[in-house]
Amino acid sequence: MKCLVAIAALACACAAQAAPVTPLAKADVTALLLPPAKGAKVIAIWALDCAYCEENLSALLAWQRNHENVDLVFVATDAIGQAAALEARLKAAKLDGVPSRAYADPSPERLNFLIDPTWGGETPRTLVIRADGSKNALSGALTAERIARLMP
């Protein structure tokens, strides 16, 4: 039992530090886009091949830490089969504490379209969904100033 508790404690510690990247399939998009109960949900879309994306994720994480009621989720347009590479990249950038998804569909363009039909697939892409259901999105690496303009 002691041993189990110790392992469980380890598990909890890991969970607090590193969120595993979980699949985002077509059927999951509706739930992903549900408005939060209060404040704002920020969906930060990135890709392994995008040299601007980590700074955007970092800026959004910093914003979340300084503001209340901001739900932040990272969505990689890379395939879930790349989970190990995604987790390694997030960990190296100290971004692995944020809930994180990766595409699980043969057609990344379809998920792009379902998440945001007004988006051309460029990254980074930041989608903000407010509690009242309203949405706002911006492409490109965001500064704190631009993030502020997106928020409620």
Partner 1 sequence: MRRLLLLAALAVAPAIPAHDMHGMSMGHEAAFGFDAAIDAKGRLWVVDTIGEHVRVRRSDDMGKDFTLTTIVNPTGEPIYAEGENRPKVALGPHGEIYVTWSQPRKAPWTGFVRFSRSLDDGAHFDLPATVHADRAEITHRFDALAVDGQGRVVVAWIDKRDLEAATQAGKPYLGAATYYSWSTDRGAHFAPERKIVDQSCECCRIALARAPDGSIDAFFRAIYGDNIRDHAVATLPVDGKAPQVARATFTQWHIEGCPHHGPSLAIDAAGVKHAVWFSAANDAPTITYGQLVPGQPPRHAATVATTGASHADLAVDGRRVWIVWNQMTAAGLDLMLRASTDGGAHFGEAKAIAHTDGASGWPKLVLANHQAFVAWNPGGSFRLVPADAAR
* Beta bridge partner(s), residue 42: 72, 128
Site for partner 1 in 88-107 (CB under 8 A): 88-89, 103, 105-107
Name which position in 43, 141, 147, 150 contacts partner 1 (CB under 8 A). Answer: 141
Tokens for 26, please give them: 């077509």
Which residues are registered as beta bridge partners of 135?
A: 129
Instruction: Tell me how far apart the alpha carbons of residues 47 and 54 are, in angstroms, rounded to a whole number.
Output: 9
Query: 117 or 133, CB closer to partner 1?
Result: 117
Q: Which of 67, 113, 130, 151 binds partner 1 (CB under 8 A)?
A: 113
Rounded Cα distance, 58 and 124, in Å: 12
Interface with partner 1 (CB under 8 A), residue from 123, 128, 129, 150: 123
Q: Which is nearer to partner 1, 67 or 146 (CB)?
A: 146
Among 2, 30, 68, 118, binds partner 1 (CB under 8 A): 118
Whether the link from the prior residue into 23 is cis, omega within 30° of 0, is no
Residue 17's Cβ-side half-sphere holds a number of Cα atoms within 13 Å equal to 11
Stretch that binds partner 1, among 33-41, 58-66, 80-88, 127-135 (CB under 8 A): 80-88
| Bridge partner list, 46 | 76
Site string for partner 1, 50-69 (x = CB under 8 A): xxxx--x-------------
Residue 52: CA count within 13 A, CB half-sphere: 11
What are the residues binding partner 1 (CB under 8 A)?
A: 4-5, 7-8, 10-12, 14, 47-53, 56, 78-79, 81-85, 88-89, 103, 105-110, 112-114, 117-125, 137-141
